[in-house]
């Protein structure tokens, strides 16, 4: 993935949404012999640099050609029956990203329409199962972008719905598994349980991570981060309301936003900071992750 500096306007927009010079030494004057030796050293340096650049290009190409490892997963837009209006755009809105969790396996599925969720159907209305039910920690993955919610989302058929993808960690334990940066970028928001990273590479996707353990977050606003760098531990943190700590199920809610206006394949115009479906990008990233892509960075 090519990376470009984030312009000031996009950086400020991302902040509002969430909220080396090299030393250069002059040449030393000397006799003909000194000059000749210097030229020879310079030529060697150029050849060495060119060889290094060539090796870097080969390594970069090899990294971009990581073999895909398939795994059981439902199709994009195939939500749990009766869980929401769904959507139609299955574009990969963030190709080449690092999968946003360090450890595998993980399980993408609904936090609301699965055991432990308040819309999971059981024989009694007061019992919705338990979040640690083995069915929640097993393949196949299920898309849950545009699940029924009261939040505005123009990509959803109803105009409202879930704005990201929920991902359970390897086991039903909080504060053990790391969320990592999807792309080289800049931290543009840190909240009581959230972190947002704006990618360096055009068109500067904005990645937001929810439900992390606050004390584990390793970054602050303005920090530059590398692809695969640890951000914080996945938890059940839902922040504080009226002085009382709130909890959700143990999972990472992962969002992708656009930094500037773009258009869906069907012609729908999206404004800057609009949510776009992350599921296709996540499936691709996870296939590469299982093949060894995206080593974790401290």
User: How much is the pLDDT for 60?
Assistant: 41
Q: Please give the residue that has the higher pLDDT: either 86 or 8.
A: 86
Which pLDDT band holds residue 64 (cuts at 50, 70, 90)? Answer: low
Query: Does the structure show a pLDDT above 80 at 61?
Result: no
> Cα separations (Å) of 268 from 50, 144, 157, 159, 261?
46, 21, 11, 12, 11
Q: Give the single-character DSSP code of 151.
A: S
Mean per-residue pLDDT, 9-29: 42
Q: At residue 9, does pLDDT exceed 60?
A: no
Look over the chain and give the mean of its residue pLDDT values, rounded to a whole number: 84
Task: Using pLDDT thresholds of 50, 70 and 90, give the confidence band for residue 66.
Answer: confident
What was the pLDDT predicted at 7? Answer: 52
Q: Which residue has the higher pLDDT, 31 or 258?
A: 258
pLDDT tier, 214 (very low <50, low <70, confident <90, very high otherwise) = very high
Question: Which of 37-51, 90-104, 154-168, 282-296 shows the lowest mean pLDDT across its residues?
Answer: 37-51
The per-residue pLDDT for 67 is: 80
Per-residue model confidence as pLDDT tens digits over 135-180? 999 999 999 999 999 999 999 999 999 999 999 999 999 999 999 9
256 has pLDDT over 70: yes
What mean pLDDT do residues 243-265 have? 95
Query: For residue 115, is pLDDT > 70?
Result: yes
Q: How far is CA 236 from CA 107, 187, 208, 231, 283, in A?
A: 15, 22, 16, 16, 23
Instruction: Confirm if 285 and 275 have CB atoms less than 8 A apart.
Output: no
pLDDT classification of 6: cutoffs 50, 70, 90: low
Report the run of H or E that residue 283 belongs to, with start and end: helix 279-290
Asked whether the predicted pLDDT for residue 183 surpasses 60, the reply is yes
Instruction: Please state, in angstroms and rounded to a whole number, the distance separating the CA atoms of residues 54 and 61.
Output: 11
Full-model pTM: 0.80
């Amino acid at each position: 993935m090519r990376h470009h500096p984030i312009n000031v306007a996009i950086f400020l927009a991302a902040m509002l949404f969430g909220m080396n010079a090299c030393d250069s030494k002059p040449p030393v004057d000397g006799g003909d012999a000194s000059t000749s030796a210097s030229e020879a050293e310079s030529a060697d340096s150029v050849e060495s640099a060119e060889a290094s650049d060539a090796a870097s290009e080969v390594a970069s190409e090899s990294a971009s050609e990581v073999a895909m490892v398939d795994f059981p997963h439902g199709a994009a837009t195939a939500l749990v029956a009766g869980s929401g209006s769904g959507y139609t755009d299955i574009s990969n809105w963030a190709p080449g990203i690092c999968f946003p969790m360090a450890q595998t396996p993980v399980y993408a599925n609904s936090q609301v329409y699965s055991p432990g969720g308040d819309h999971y159907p059981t024989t009694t209305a007061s019992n919705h199962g338990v979040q640690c039910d083995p069915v929640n920690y097993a393949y196949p993955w299920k898309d849950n972008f545009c699940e029924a919610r009261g939040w505005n989302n123009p990509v959803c058929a109803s105009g409202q719905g879930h704005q990201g993808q929920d991902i359970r960690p390897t086991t039903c334990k909080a504060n053990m598994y790391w969320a990592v940066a999807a792309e080289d970028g800049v931290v543009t928001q840190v909240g009581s349980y959230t972190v947002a990273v704006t990618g360096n590479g055009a068109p500067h996707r904005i990645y937001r991570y929810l439900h992390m353990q606050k004390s584990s977050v390793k970054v602050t606003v303005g920090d530059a981060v590398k692809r695969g760098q640890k951000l914080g531990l996945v938890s059940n943190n839902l922040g504080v309301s009226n002085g009382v700590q709130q909890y959700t199920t143990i999972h990472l809610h992962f969002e992708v936003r656009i930094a500037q206006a773009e258009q869906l394949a069907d012609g729908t115009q999206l404004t800057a900071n609009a949510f776009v479906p992350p599921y296709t990008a996540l499936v691709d990233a996870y296939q590469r992750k299982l093949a060894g892509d995206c080593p974790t960075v401290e």
